[in-house]
A and B are shown apart, each in its own frame.
Chain A
């Protein structure tokens, strides 16, 4: 089946540092999404990308839909302790509604 390779698996950074994570696929995706999961909660949508090359920001978060439609990255600038959590990329590659998820990047921020 379709797979997304997300990296890194985990990150330990100092407060104030910038963070970058990415996802790649062997298949073309129509939509790329970035979700964040806080402990005990479900994934919450951060950014949605719908066009190849699209670059979108949401506060300190910036994400891009790769030109080849096979990759996406998420950057977090000036990290703060509340950025801690698991970040998932997800994509939709066919006409159906189901999402394919990456393995997640667990982010830890040291104050």
Chain B
């Protein structure tokens, strides 16, 4: 069974550009989470989807970040326009049950120059 996959693995963009990250959860997992780790700090929660609905988006930093999960399968996280402080590793995780074990993808390392 395939795990959580994220694309791209690395992205280097200039300040002001737009970047879209993609996450494919484990098949059948209704719960999908986005997290971010910035500059060696803790991994911070961004938002939680249950199927296609945003269950909790309390961690989204500002309106430059837009997450979608059309059809309740894969999810995208778009940053527009990107700022320097957006650099970090963006992780996606999925779980089968509400508050079930979360399985993480390898992450997308975003560098904003």
A interface, CB within 8 angstroms of B: 3-4, 6, 31, 35, 40-45, 48, 88, 90, 92, 95-104
Does B74 make an interface contact (CB < 8 A)?
no
Interface contact A43-B43, CB-CB below 8 Å = yes
A98 touches B33 (CB 8 A): yes
Q: How many A-B residue pairs have CB under 8 A?
A: 63
What is the minimal beta-carbon distance from A49 to any residue of chain B, in angstroms?
12
Q: Does B26 contact A (CB under 8 A)?
A: no
> Cβ of B95 and Cβ of A101 under 8 Å apart?
no
Contacts of A4 in B (CB 8 A): 42
CB distance from A58 to the nearest CB of B (A): 13
Assuming the contacts A40-B106, A41-B106, A44-B104, asked whether A97 and B42 have C-beta atoms less than 8 A apart, the reply is no
Q: Which residues of chain B are within 8 angstroms of A95 by Cβ–Cβ distance?
A: 99
A43 to B56, alpha carbons, bound, how many Å? Answer: 21
Contacts of A42 in B (CB 8 A): 4, 91, 93, 104-107
How many B residues have CB within 8 A of the partner chain? 27
Return the chain B residue nearest A102 by Cβ: B42
Q: Which residue of B lies closest to A45 (CB)?
A: B101
Q: Which of B33, B44, B107 contacts A97 (CB 8 A)?
A: B33
A98 adjacent to B105 (CB under 8 Å): no
Query: A40, A99, A104: which contacts B45 (Cβ < 8 A)?
Result: A99
Residues A97 and B98 in contact in the complex (CB < 8 Å), given A102-B42, A103-B42? yes
Write the nearest CB–CB distance from A108 to chain B, whole angstroms: 15
Least distance between A90 CB and chain B CB atoms (Å): 8
Residues of B close to A88: CB separation below 8 A = 42-43
Known A-B contacts: A98-B45, A98-B59. Give 4 more (CB < 8 A).
A31-B99, A44-B104, A99-B35, A103-B40
Expressed in whole angstroms, the Cα–Cα distance for A96 and B48 within the complex equals: 9
CB neighbours (8 Å) of A35 from chain B are: 104
